[in-house]
Amino acid sequence: MRTRTIPMLVAAVLLALAPSPASAKTSTDKEMGDELERDLEKKWGRTRAVQVVVDRLYPKASRFELDIFFGVLPNDAFQLYLNPGLRMAWHFNEQWALELGGAYSLGVDTGLRRQLEEDDALIQARTRDQVIARFGLAVVWSPIYGKFAWVNSKVAHFDMYFLFEAGGVYSEGEQTLGLEGGVWPEVGLGLGMRFFLSRIVSLRFEFRQRLAVREGLGEDAIRLAYPSEISLGLAFVLGPKFQPSAGSTK
């Protein structure tokens, strides 16, 4: 009796440990799924590594840019500032560039001061200072590049860019108020669009919002100013001659 019982117990244990058909099928399905995932990763991983736009018709990478622009600062109630200026940039690649620029500020009287003084003889309206020039160094990021059809006859190429600027502003203070002027720091953020006219020439539309530290009234006093600038520029991208390949974007 004991001799017959031992083989039966061994058989029962082996039967319990043996994988069922359902679990074997599940294991097989998992292995097939893992293999399929690896195959897809091999194929689409290479595809994702390929850039969407290559060999651009209007390249900027490793090129120098010269931008002649004209800006308007409408924030001052007493003066409208007109800013003709010049910017120079180096494009490290199609997305990143470093830009150095400066502009002369021409203040145009808005007539508000004269009107206030004519309306009330007791009012003597004065501006605290007058901006003479400004300069800055900017990091430019161009993440968007595209094209559109112009009246269904011509394809126009453009890119959109963002920038961070740090620089300074030179101003002359109002002597009657005891202000001396000088060079004061400012920082700013900007948004712009570039429309390519050719491989060398492009139009740039920009908006820059700055935060500037300026001289205030009283000893050691400072104040904050928030000048905004809208500008239009004609840019020239200079560099080695570019020959588009068969896969270039048209």
Reading the chain (250 residues) residue by residue, the pLDDT tens digits are 555 556 665 565 555 555 555 454 555 666 666 666 666 566 555 555 545 555 678 889 999 999 999 999 988 777 888 999 999 999 999 999 999 999 999 887 776 666 665 655 445 555 667 788 999 999 999 999 988 887 777 888 899 999 999 999 998 766 556 667 788 899 999 999 999 999 899 999 999 999 988 766 666 577 788 999 999 999 999 987 654 433 444 4
Please tell me whether the overall predicted TM-score, pTM, comes out greater than 0.75 for this model: no
Q: Quick one: 134 and 233 in the same domain?
A: yes
**Judging by beta carbons within 10 Å of its beta carbon (0-12, 13-18, 19+), is residue 171 exposed, middle or buried?**
buried
Same-domain check for residues 93 and 183? yes
> Are 210 and 141 in a shared domain?
yes
Residue type, 154: K
> Measuring CA to CA, which residue among 188, 185, 186, 192 is closest to residue 231?
192
Does residue 137 share a domain with residue 232?
A: yes
CB-based burial label for 194 (10 Å; 0-12, 13-18, 19+):
buried
Looking at the structure, tell me whether residues 38 and 74 fall in a common domain. Answer: no
Range of the domain at 140: 63-238
On the CB side of 128, CA atoms within 13 Å amount to 14
Can you spell out the DSSP letters for 1-65? Answer: -HHHHHHHHHHHHHHHHSPPHHHHHHHHHHHHHHHHHHHHHHHHHHHHHS-SS-S-SS--TTEEE
Interatomic CA distance for residues 121 and 113, integer angstroms: 12
91 located within any domain: yes
Whether residue 131 contacts residue 169, with contact meaning beta carbons closer than 8 Å, is answered with yes
What is the total count of domains within the chain? Answer: 2
